[in-house]
């Protein structure tokens, strides 16, 4: 009898209560995320006006040709001009070591492994809830996780959650970081906090999805970690979706370009593109 009563209590009270609590928790988290996303839009608007890098000129100062191997154009990756920018950063700031938070197919780390001596990947292992298998299932695409992250100079650091990763296990001094893992406000904030603590403002940090018109709260998370003073050294890029922290020592000769409507006939950069198709 007691057992039956317990069962009835579970079905009609305990389970619905649990679901109700989880619903309210999720609603609160989503409201919090939305507030941070709206604040990010305002930050990006301000940066568009005052600290937006002229991408065409930035690339051209490094080279007028960029080879980007093995792009897949599969959803979940970055754009051609994001990758070209990363590569130009490594060449321009003479970065020997690279660390990325978030490796999916491995396009970014594959490109960087051709120029940096050592490339670290801090990403969800196959037993992590953030591993891309379930996302691939939802999108109905094959799971190509890390197909391209195979070069010998790539050091794999798997974790369940980068928010808990111990960066002291990496002894190298990292010259260039790319944060492209957990895109929630709390995820970007935690990754940025940990990397900021390790780099102490002395390394270049690039954030993907910084300029996504309200889809992510990356800009606000970065602002909340770096604070007013160091945020002065954060720039966005006029023609990709990255944000970048550039230490003062690298800031000479940076060409800026305010992003807003104008009738003025400004420089228009174009990129000749050739696709060379191959099977991997």
**Of the candidates 124, 225, 226, 234, which one interacts with ligand SAM according to CB under 6 A?**
124
Question: Which of 44, 87, 176, 182 touches ligand SAM (CB under 6 A)?
Answer: 182
Q: How far apart are CA 175 and CA 246, in angstroms?
A: 11
What residues numbered 127-156 form the site for ligand SAM, per CB under 6 A?
130-132
Please say which residue, 92 or 103, places its beta carbon nearer to ligand SAM. Answer: 103
Number of residues that bind ligand SAM (CB under 6 A): 24
Contact status, residue 86 vs residue 108, Cβ threshold 8 Å: yes
Q: Under the criterion CB under 6 A, does residue 192 sit at the interface with ligand SAM? A: no
Q: Which residue is nearest to ligand SAM (CB)?
A: 102
Tell me the closest approach of the beta carbon of residue 245 to ligand SAM, in angstroms. Answer: 18
**243: contact with ligand SAM by CB under 6 A:** no
CB of 253 to ligand SAM, least distance (A): 28
Of positions 106, 179, 211, 217, contacts ligand SAM by CB under 6 A: 106
HEC sequence for 148-207: CCCCCCEEEEEECCHHHCCHHHCCCCCCEEEECCCCCHHHHHHHHHHHHHHHCCCCEEEE
Q: At what angle do helices 80-92 and 55-62 cross, to 10 degrees?
A: 50
Alpha carbon distance 110, 69 (integer Å) = 8
Q: Does 77 bind ligand SAM (CB under 6 A)?
A: yes
Q: Is 261 left (phi over 0), alpha (psi -120 to 50) or beta?
A: beta
Nearest alpha-carbon partner for 118 in 171, 190, 192: 171
Q: Which stretch binds ligand SAM (CB under 6 A): 7-15, 112-120, 181-189, 245-253?
A: 181-189
Q: Give residues in contact with ligand SAM (CB under 6 A).
A: 76-78, 100, 102-108, 123-124, 130-132, 159, 161-163, 180-182, 187
């Amino acid at each position: 009898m007691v057992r039956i009563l317990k069962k009835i209590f579970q079905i009609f009270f305990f389970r619905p209560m649990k679901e109700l609590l989880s619903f309210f928790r999720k609603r609160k988290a989503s409201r919090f995320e939305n507030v941070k996303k709206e604040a990010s839009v305002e930050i990006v608007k301000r940066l568009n006006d005052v600290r937006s890098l002229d991408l065409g000129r930035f690339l051209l100062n490094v080279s007028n040709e960029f080879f980007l191997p093995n792009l897949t154009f599969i959803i979940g990756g970055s754009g051609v001009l994001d990758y070209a920018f990363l590569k130009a950063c490594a060449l321009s700031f003479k970065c020997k070591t690279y660390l990325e938070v978030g490796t999916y197919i491995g396009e970014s780390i594959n490109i960087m492994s051709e120029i940096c001596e050592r490339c670290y990947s801090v990403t969800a292992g196959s037993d992590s809830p953030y591993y891309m298998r379930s996302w691939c299932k939802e999108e109905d695409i094959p799971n190509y996780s890390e197909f391209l992250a195979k070069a010998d100079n790539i050091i794999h650091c798997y974790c369940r959650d980068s928010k808990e990763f111990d960066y002291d296990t990496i002894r190298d001094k990292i010259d260039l970081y790319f944060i492209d893992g957990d895109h929630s406000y709390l995820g970007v904030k935690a990754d940025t906090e940990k990397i900021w603590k390790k780099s102490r403002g002395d390394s270049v940090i690039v954030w993907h999805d910084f300029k996504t018109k309200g889809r992510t709260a990356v800009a606000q998370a970065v602002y909340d970690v770096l604070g007013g003073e160091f945020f002065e050294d954060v720039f966005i890029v006029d023609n990709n979706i990255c944000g970048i922290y550039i230490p003062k020592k690298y800031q000479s000769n940076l060409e800026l370009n305010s992003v807003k409507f104008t009738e003025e006939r400004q420089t228009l950069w174009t990129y000749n593109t050739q696709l060379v198709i191959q099977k991997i």
